[in-house]
């Protein structure tokens, strides 16, 4: 289906695509993949609402893009995904500035951090990578529906291969904390969320996808030490060495997912290297695990998430 692959860059993927008149919201926009995603979407003509938790870093990122593209249409919004009150406040502010949204890129995340908890007491990786984005997406859903056809892109990872989502103790109150296990479970949650979100919103013109960007050394890896890279290799189901991408290559699948006509009739899929991933096989570093695309688990996670954020999103 796709003429692109893991080596493709954002500029190659966006070539010939016009996003004039479109509005994109990107979380984690102040650095790394988020910054690159904002840059290329703005270059294609989209109005881009850049979202991040650090005001200084976010403003510096916007300045960097404007230096390259003086006519870039950029707005900025402060939001801390680890605090649901901040998410609610930011969502309300975004809706005042954009009543129609065509692209929501849930890019922000945290990886392999020590045991920490969000403002509401969730394990930090689960709370940031999934719960905060779940609430944001639900609150922005009127604008996504109003702007349809629209797409929601949730940044997942091959880290979902570390294990299925743990419904009995998602916040590590009973289990011994394992930072890589917690990361993997949060990334599995991203895939399950995409599956159920697409099911609930596709009749309203909104499609959802989960994306594995590949291994890229960005601020996401700020908690990692040399021993962590070794541990990551040991956890891998593949004997292949880790291959790192540039930010331009890493953000390419996100941009492809957000803009390609190839996915116009698709949704709820896990994407990698600018194509729809196949079902994972033993020893394969690619592909999506069956538990991450289990409809029953996706629905269960949705109901749990609604309970955690204290807000129901029926959609259909």
Show me where the domains of the chain are located: 10-308
Q: 59 with 65: CB under 8 angstroms?
A: no
Task: Return the pLDDT at 108.
Answer: 98
Is residue 282 within a helix (H) or strand (E), and if so which, with residue range?
Answer: none
Which residues have a Cβ under 8 Å from the Cβ of 197 and sit 6 or more positions away?
137, 152, 154, 206, 208, 268
Q: Distance between CA 251 and CA 99 in Å, rounded?
A: 26
Task: Return the pLDDT at 230.
Answer: 55
- How does strand 269-272 pair with strand 275-276? antiparallel
Task: Return the pLDDT at 243.
Answer: 78
Q: Count Cβ atoms within 10 A of the Cβ of residue 36 and give its class: 0-12 exposed, 13-18 middle, 19 or more buried.
A: buried
Task: Return the pLDDT at 122.
Answer: 98
Q: How far does CA 115 lie from the centroid of its chain?
A: 21
Task: Return the pLDDT at 242.
Answer: 72
Residues marked active site are found at 183
Asked whether the bond before 149 is cis by omega within 30 degrees of 0, the reply is yes
Which CATH number is associated with domain 10-308?
A: 3.40.50.720
Handedness of CA 267, 191, 312, 93 (dihedral sign): negative
Q: Distance between CA 304 and CA 126 in Å, rounded?
A: 12
Task: Return the pLDDT at 46.
Answer: 98
Task: Return the pLDDT at 39.
Answer: 98
Task: Enter the pTM of the model.
Answer: 0.93
Q: Distance between CA 123 and CA 1 in Å, rounded?
A: 38
Is residue 29 within a helix (H) or strand (E), and if so which, with residue range?
Answer: none
Q: 172 with 117: CB under 8 angstroms?
A: no
Which residues have a Cβ under 8 Å from the Cβ of 153 and sit 6 or more positions away?
103, 104, 105, 106, 107, 208, 209, 210, 211, 254, 257, 258
Task: Return the pLDDT at 97.
Answer: 97
Task: Return the pLDDT at 282.
Answer: 81
Contacts by residues 55-60 (CB-CB < 8 Å, ≥ 24 positions apart): 57/30, 57/31, 58/29, 58/30, 60/30
Taking only the tens of pLDDT, the chain with its 316 residues reads 589 999 999 999 999 999 999 999 999 999 999 999 999 999 999 999 999 999 999 999 999 999 999 999 999 999 999 999 999 999 999 999 999 999 999 999 999 999 999 999 999 999 999 999 999 999 999 999 999 999 999 999 999 999 999 999 999 999 999 999 999 999 999 999 999 999 999 999 999 999 999 988 756 555 455 566 556 556 555 556 677 899 999 999 999 999 999 999 999 999 999 999 999 988 778 999 999 999 999 999 999 999 999 999 876 5
């Amino acid at each position: 289906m796709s003429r692109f692959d893991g080596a493709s860059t954002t500029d190659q993927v966006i070539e010939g695509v016009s996003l004039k008149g479109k509005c994109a919201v990107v979380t984690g926009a102040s650095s790394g993949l988020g910054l690159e995603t904002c840059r290329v979407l703005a270059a294609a003509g989209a109005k881009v609402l850049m979202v991040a938790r650090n005001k200084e870093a976010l403003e510096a990122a916007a300045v960097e893009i404007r230096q390259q593209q003086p006519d870039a249409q950029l707005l900025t919004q402060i939001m801390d995904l680890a605090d649901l009150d901040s998410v609610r406040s930011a969502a309300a502010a975004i809706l005042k500035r954009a009543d129609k949204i065509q692209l929501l890129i849930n890019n922000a995340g945290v990886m392999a951090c020590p045991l920490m908890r969000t403002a509401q007491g969730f394990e930090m990786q689960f709370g940031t990578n999934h719960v905060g984005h779940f609430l944001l997406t639900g609150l922005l859903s009127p604008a996504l529906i109003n702007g349809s056809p629209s797409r929601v892109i949730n940044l997942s990872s091959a880290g979902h291969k570390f294990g299925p989502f743990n419904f009995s103790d998602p916040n590590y109150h009973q289990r011994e904390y394992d930072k890589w296990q917690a990361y993997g479970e949060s990334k599995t949650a991203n895939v399950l969320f995409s599956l159920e979100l697409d099911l609930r919103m596709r009749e309203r013109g909104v499609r959802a996808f989960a994306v594995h960007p590949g291994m890229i050394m960005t601020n996401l890896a700020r908690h990692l030490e040399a021993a962590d890279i070794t541990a990551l290799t040991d956890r891998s189901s593949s004997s292949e060495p880790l291959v790192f991408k540039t930010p331009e290559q890493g953000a390419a699948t996100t941009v492809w997912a957000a803009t390609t006509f190839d996915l116009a009739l698709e949704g709820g899929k896990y994407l990698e290297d600018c194509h729809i991933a196949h079902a994972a096989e033993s020893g394969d570093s690619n592909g999506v695990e069956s538990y991450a695309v289990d409809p029953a688990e996706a629905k269960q996670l949705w109901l749990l998430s609604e309970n955690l954020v204290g807000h129901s999103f029926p959609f259909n």
